[in-house]
Structure 1
Amino acid sequence: MKKRLSEEKVFKDPVHNYVYVQDQTIWDLINTKEFQRLRRIRQLGTSYLTFHGAEHSRFSHSLGVYEITRKIISQFERHGYPDWPKSERLVSLCAALLHDVGHGPFSHSLEQVFDTHHEQWTCKIILENTEVNRVLRGVSEDFPEKVASVIRRTYTKPIVVSLISSQLDADRMDYLLRDAYYTGVHYGTFDLERILRVLRPHQGSIVVKESGMHAVEHYLMSRYQMYWQIYFHPVTRSSEIILRQIFRRARELYETGYSFQYMPKPLQALLEGTIDVPSYLKLDESLVQTAFGEWAEEDDDLLRDLCDRFLNRRLYKYITLDNPDEKLLNEIEEQWRMIGLHPDYHMEIDFPYDQPYDVYRPDTKKGEKEEKTPILLLDEQDHLNEISRKSDIVRSITGLHQGQYHLYYPEEPLLRAAGRLPAGIRELFKLDARQAERF
């Protein structure tokens, strides 16, 4: 059953000005407990420890993705483009709204430790016994599966998938603008209205009218800058490393039979690998940070220190390495052990390839983790060209990696032990024994 609201609902939004809800199904989905939980999940994970304004939630981002998708579809329908299947409107809006409903606390860091993926949890929440599932079944019995298949990128209409998951999708467009707004930078700003005006449905895909190429260039440059200035920021990486180490240490202790003074049931199920949808939905950042506060008083020195560091922003420092060789790393590990540090937890080499973000690539292949439809330009003769073939600007940044190796470590114990470390190590880490007086 598809039903329009008798009166349009409106959310005030700092990025899109207003978010308009016209469908009863969308309104009911927003009011489910599973969607409301996204208010308690930050959009940018630990970035608030680097950019203090980055406190925005997955809830506000999901509304933004829905709104951009609604605007695109409205434009297609207003112009009567024959290549847009009008019957796909509601499934597209529902998938846009729910695409992140499976995110866990500090999502990507948690996923790396426990080998889970938010899209899998999104589909479980859509398909299992949840309020979201009941709302979707109110449309039709097979509607939850349709929405889930859009999330999985297996839906029978690729044009619907590309609205939510492509190189120029509603998800990316919202999070670039929203993240730029809340981090207080201008890198992520671009002309969204112009891009929406030049999008076209064409032969089962969404393409860009060639006259709009410059607006898309601006979008891709903004995306490139946001990745290197915000998402790959080395201080944020430090907080992510400590967060992952907390989860790793907690799991390590749990598996060896350590008796925690405090262990909420959802976290226990996560550590056991037995977590189900009801328990997963209880996992939010409030619960996790409460656990960290308690674990900061645990008997295990390592877990206690890691939690204290995360909660009080005593992050690891880092040095930049051009090309870390095995001999150097082995020497550092040996010195770490000598001064009582744990190399598995107190040094980590990081290179920003493992982020869920990436710069534009025109040639992602089927089966790759981040397979995305490339951006295609439609010329006046109805010919399609991948944008980097036409744009020098896009070609110059396509697939470009400018990351550096960073070695992260706790500064205080190194300073205390500076006088016992070899001169080469002191020089590498820029240690001054006189600084140790502060500790």
Structure 2
Amino acid sequence: MQTGRKIVNDPVYGFITINDPLVFRVISHRYYQRLRRIQQMAFAQLVYPGAVHTRLHHSLGAYHLMGNALAELRSKGVEITAEEETAAKIAILLHDVGHGPYSHALEQTLIEGIHHEQLSVLIMEALNKEMNGALSLAICIFRGNYHKPFLHQLISGQLDVDRMDYLTRDSFFTGVSEGVIGYDRILKMLAVHDGELVVEEKAIYTIEKFLVSRRLMYWQVYLHKTVLCAEKMLVNIIRRARYLINYGTAVTAPSDVLDFFLQKQSPPDLSEQLDRFCQLDDFDVMGAIKSWTNHPDKVLAALCRMIVDRRLLKVRLQADPVSDSLIQEKRNAIAAYAGISVEDASYLVFSGEASNTTYDPSEERINILFKDGTVRDISQVDNALIQHNLSRPVKKYYFCFLNPETASGLFDSMPY
């Protein structure tokens, strides 16, 4: 096993150093390397062609920021042992290792009843067993059970290095400058007060810019109407495949591992199927979608062709819920055009809601440390922008539908 110093040339931060044998062992493991095959932003590339970076890119970037944050806190007299540093770095490296194909887009669809955070813990525990307990402290920090809460807050909180990296990285790869944050200044202003992570008063405006950037990125990128539509179509592809299987129609995925999870009538026990899950990635799903473009089922084939050819459903975002009468009208039109049932047309005409809260004070708070030693939540700071408008949730309703006039050839048999 190689244990020497390694450097990774990252397009966002430059050189990232890996100089701990245990960290290198984790990064080299096949469970971690799978993150190379899972894109960070699912179908955002259909709108922003440069958004093809992976979960591995993000993981290494968050690891880099964690190292910088810990070094800054140490320089301010915060006691952090070498073991705690290594454990915190491993915890952030593995914080997203439980993501399945297409990350959030297929969460609770491909495998129901379990979130990626739970899977991350299962994978950490499996690695810990394989590495003779070397990751025990990392797991403790990740779960928030360690007696120094600021270490967990750097991994999961309103101002964690996870968010700092994905905003910085996603804005870089999409080219959306509204997402650029002053992550380096935020790191310089971090401090610890009574064991909790706080930010020095001087960084208030930088934190507000961070929160505004996050809000803009959600509506301009993560919840962009076209991205949202494509991801809902992906969900409907899996739902339709499962529906057909349950009613006796053959639907087979080219990948054995995807086919295993697809054919299961009930959610599998992932503690027993963890190794199989860790073979799943975006390539399995996209391979199946390409294969199903010629499936005899009109609905499944049409959805898959639309994804492969980027010929997506029309989508509208609006402030009010979509009327049932409009949805029914569109479904009736598609059913008549394609020769399918109105029920089947529901896969091609649907609505829902998307919401985002930039800063929710009821969750993990961003605490500001003032020069007089007092600590206040940023929403309680005089004249703070967050106090006035960023703590309220924003909700929008989406309406995705197929227009018969733009569906020419979509339901015809393929020539091969």
- For the criterion TM > 0.5, the same-fold answer is yes
How far the C-alpha of 1:170 sits from its partner, in A, is: 0.3
Equivalent residues of 2:98, 2:116 under 8 A apart: yes
1:407 to 382, 399, 402: 399
Equivalent residues of 2:6, 2:19 under 8 A apart: yes
How far the C-alpha of 1:262 sits from its partner, in A, is: 4.2
| Equivalent residue number for residue 233 of structure 1 | 224
Equivalent residues of 2:334, 2:403 under 8 A apart: no
| Equivalent residue number for residue 362 of structure 1 | 361
| Equivalent residue number for residue 345 of structure 1 | 347
Equivalent residues of 1:351, 1:405 under 8 A apart: yes
Equivalent residues of 2:84, 2:137 under 8 A apart: no
Q: Amino acid of the residue matched to residue 245 of structure 1?
A: N
CA distance in 1, matches of 2:220, 2:317: 16
Residue 11 in 1 paired to residue 8 in 2? yes
Moved more, 400-409 or 240-249: 400-409
Give the 3-state SS of the residue equivalent to 2:251 in structure 1.
coil
Give the 3-state SS of the residue equivalent to 1:382 in structure 2.
coil
* CA gap 1:280/1:8 in 2 versus in 1, 3 angstroms: same
Q: Amino acid of the residue matched to residue 34 of structure 1?
A: Y
CA distance in 2, matches of 1:31, 1:320: 43
* CA gap 1:253/1:147 in 2 versus in 1, 3 angstroms: farther
| Equivalent residue number for residue 393 of structure 1 | 385
Give the 3-state SS of the residue equivalent to 2:8 in structure 1.
strand
1:110-189 alignment to 2 at 5 Å?
110-113=106-109, 114-115=111-112, 116-128=114-126, 130=127, 133-135=129-131, 137=132, 141=133, 143-189=134-180
CA distance in 1, matches of 2:324, 2:274: 43
| Equivalent residue number for residue 39 of structure 2 | 42
CA distance in 1, matches of 2:119, 2:93: 15
CA distance in 2, matches of 1:190, 1:97: 21
| Equivalent residue number for residue 98 of structure 2 | 102
Moved more, 317-326 or 249-258: 317-326
CA distance in 2, matches of 1:295, 1:415: 18
1:93 to 89, 92, 95: 89
Q: Amino acid of the residue matched to residue 179 of structure 1?
A: D
* CA gap 1:260/1:133 in 2 versus in 1, 3 angstroms: same
How far the C-alpha of 1:333 sits from its partner, in A, is: 4.2
How far the C-alpha of 1:187 sits from its partner, in A, is: 1.1
How far the C-alpha of 1:183 sits from its partner, in A, is: 0.3
* CA gap 1:319/1:74 in 2 versus in 1, 3 angstroms: closer
CA distance in 2, matches of 1:19, 1:358: 32
Give the 3-state SS of the residue equivalent to 1:345 in structure 2.
coil
1:54 to 42, 51, 54: 51
Q: TM-score, normalised by structure 1?
A: 0.83
Equivalent residues of 2:317, 2:399 under 8 A apart: yes
Q: Amino acid of the residue matched to residue 385 of structure 1?
A: R
Equivalent residues of 2:18, 2:24 under 8 A apart: yes
Equivalent residues of 2:26, 2:32 under 8 A apart: yes
CA distance in 2, matches of 1:195, 1:69: 12
**Structure 1 regions of 5+ residues with no counterpart?**
365-372, 417-439
Equivalent residues of 2:88, 2:151 under 8 A apart: yes
How far the C-alpha of 1:306 sits from its partner, in A, is: 1.1
* CA gap 1:380/1:43 in 2 versus in 1, 3 angstroms: same
How far the C-alpha of 1:335 sits from its partner, in A, is: 4.6
* CA gap 1:85/1:217 in 2 versus in 1, 3 angstroms: farther
Residue 77 in 1 paired to residue 69 in 2? no
CA distance in 1, matches of 2:19, 2:94: 16
CA distance in 2, matches of 1:223, 1:256: 43
| Equivalent residue number for residue 368 of structure 1 | none
Q: TM-score, normalised by structure 2?
A: 0.88
2:192 to 183, 187, 201: 201
How far the C-alpha of 1:265 sits from its partner, in A, is: 2.3
Residue 324 in 1 paired to residue 330 in 2? no
How far the C-alpha of 1:261 sits from its partner, in A, is: 5.0
Aligned length, in residue pairs:
393
* CA gap 1:16/1:227 in 2 versus in 1, 3 angstroms: same
Q: Amino acid of the residue matched to residue 295 of structure 2?
A: E
CA distance in 1, matches of 2:372, 2:82: 25
Equivalent residues of 2:357, 2:394 under 8 A apart: no
How far the C-alpha of 1:154 sits from its partner, in A, is: 4.0
How far the C-alpha of 1:168 sits from its partner, in A, is: 0.3
* CA gap 1:80/1:319 in 2 versus in 1, 3 angstroms: closer
Give the 3-state SS of the residue equivalent to 2:179 in structure 1.
coil
* CA gap 1:147/1:344 in 2 versus in 1, 3 angstroms: farther
How far the C-alpha of 1:188 sits from its partner, in A, is: 1.3
Equivalent residues of 1:42, 1:58 under 8 A apart: yes
1:113-132 alpha-carbon deviations (Å, 9 max, x no partner): 1323111221111112x5x7
How far the C-alpha of 1:86 sits from its partner, in A, is: 5.8
Give the 3-state SS of the residue equivalent to 1:346 in structure 2.
coil
Q: Amino acid of the residue matched to residue 302 of structure 2?
A: D
How far the C-alpha of 1:363 sits from its partner, in A, is: 1.6
| Equivalent residue number for residue 26 of structure 1 | 23
Moved more, 24-33 or 147-156: 147-156
**Structure 2 regions of 5+ residues with no counterpart?**
409-416
1:295-353 alpha-carbon deviations (Å, 9 max, x no partner): 11222211111111111111110234433344444454455544445342011213212
* CA gap 1:297/1:133 in 2 versus in 1, 3 angstroms: farther
Q: Amino acid of the residue matched to residue 125 of structure 1?
A: I
* CA gap 1:248/1:323 in 2 versus in 1, 3 angstroms: closer
